[in-house]
Amino acid sequence: MNTGELAGSGATASAVPSAATGLSEKQVRHWRDRMGVGDDPTRFARASHIDQAVSTDGNQTPALVDVIGRPDPDDYAEIVYSRQLSVLGVFAALRTPATAERTPSLIRRAPERAILVCSQLSAGGGHLDLDGRRHEFQHPSDLLVLDYSTPFRLSTDAVTDPVGIWVPAEVLGRDGDCIQHEIESVQSSPLARATGAFIVTLAVTAAVRGADIDTETELAAVDLVRDLLGAAGGTPPRSTGNGVIVREAARALIRRNFRDPDYSPDHIATALYMSRRNLYRRLAEAGSSPAALIAEQRLERARHLLGSTRAPMIDHVAKSAGFSSPATLRRHFRAKYGVSPERYRRDHRLDDAAASAGDGS
């Protein structure tokens, strides 16, 4: 895809994100640090509008919204990581104050049956004009859910860092039935907050870090959005219940933070805007607990390190996996796998040696 000036965009792509007009190097550096990509310019995708769809072959479609800088209409810049997955589109952006408008003429010219579900990495808000009403929102406590078949105007007065997913209407139900009713566009329920946490992690992991995302994870996100839309239309949530949703949101948070030995259930509850008691209750519905989920992720990381060709020392494994000490790693590892970390590493090396001998190498 051409990284020069893109169709419908006033921004110009650059190999170095801080080159975007209107965004300071400090703002860009802080944004990249929050997403865990450091200063490596090779991870930069492009500069353009987040609201321009990109097809699987890399070709860009016409802009789906008109974007105008605030307060100066010509003073607008953004940096975007975006990616089309098997089912979803994902993005993470840094943008200057602006108004993004989906007008009736744009809907006719560039029809799009999709739902945009959007949160933000940092605290901040704005207002949404929809159906003759103004809705105030404040991220990350509020989640935006926008139907692109409906006109709207979204305005912000500060630099923002939106993160979100595109969900095609057809995957939400037959002929998009579940979006025929009026959507609650600004949501702040526990379900919405859990969904927001899950979506932020998914979008950053896929769009920014380029990780492979399995279809089951994409469909889990679709299920979360379907539940949000169903709740707005009076439809009961899926039979899997909110416990499964909270569990998946907690897992997403843990994957980002498990290396910190001080990361605890309290941190998860705070991120999901839930009480500690409610968090435990919801996870119990799904047959789990916060401590079990944290230990699960840490043990999986430790097992991966111990099985590598050049496995590091046990104290390094413990530190890299988020355990407070090698003794804690040993206790949890033995309880889970029935052997010590040292024995697991030794047996894995013997298996590798036997396999190599069998191959004649």
The answer to whether residue 356 scores a pLDDT higher than 60 is: no
Question: Whose structure tokens read 């789990």?
Answer: 288
Condensed to tens digits (0 to 9), the pLDDT of residues 334-347 reads 999 999 999 998 88
Residue 327 banded pLDDT, cuts 50, 70, 90: very high
The answer to whether residue 181 scores a pLDDT higher than 60 is: no
CA distance 4 to 1: 9
Condensed to tens digits (0 to 9), the pLDDT of residues 213-270 reads 887 788 888 888 888 887 554 444 443 446 776 787 788 778 878 999 999 999 988 8
Condensed to tens digits (0 to 9), the pLDDT of residues 48-58 reads 333 443 333 33
CA distance 115 to 117: 6
Condensed to tens digits (0 to 9), the pLDDT of residues 140-156 reads 878 999 999 999 999 99
Top pLDDT among 296 and 9 is at 296
Residue 191: other Cβ atoms inside 10 A: 19
CA distance 346 to 314: 12
Condensed to tens digits (0 to 9), the pLDDT of residues 199-211 reads 988 999 999 988 8
Residue ranges with strand state E in 140-261: 143-147, 152-155, 162-168, 186-187
Least confident of 95-109, 153-167, 250-264: 250-264
What does the mean pLDDT of the chain come to? 78
* pLDDT, position 351: 60
The answer to whether residues 225 and 172 touch, using CB atoms and an 8 Å cutoff, is yes
* pLDDT, position 359: 54
| Structure-block tokens of residue 361 | 């190498």
Domains of the chain, CATH where assigned: 1-237 (2.60.120.10)
Spatial CA neighbour of 263 closest among 294, 309, 289? 294
Top pLDDT among 133 and 87 is at 133
* pLDDT, position 256: 77
Is the Cα torsion angle 85, 90, 93, 97 positive or negative in sign?
positive
* pLDDT, position 112: 84
Spatial CA neighbour of 62 closest among 52, 77, 71, 70? 52
Residue ranges with strand state E in the chain: 66-69, 78-84, 89-95, 98-102, 114-120, 124-130, 133-139, 143-147, 152-155, 162-168, 186-187
CA distance 178 to 283: 27
CA distance 163 to 90: 8
Residue 60 banded pLDDT, cuts 50, 70, 90: very low
Element (H, E) at 343: helix 341-358
The answer to whether residues 16 and 44 touch, using CB atoms and an 8 Å cutoff, is yes
Query: What DSSP string runs through 33-74?
Result: HHHT-TT-GGG--B-S-TTS-B-TTSPBPPPSSEEEESSSTT
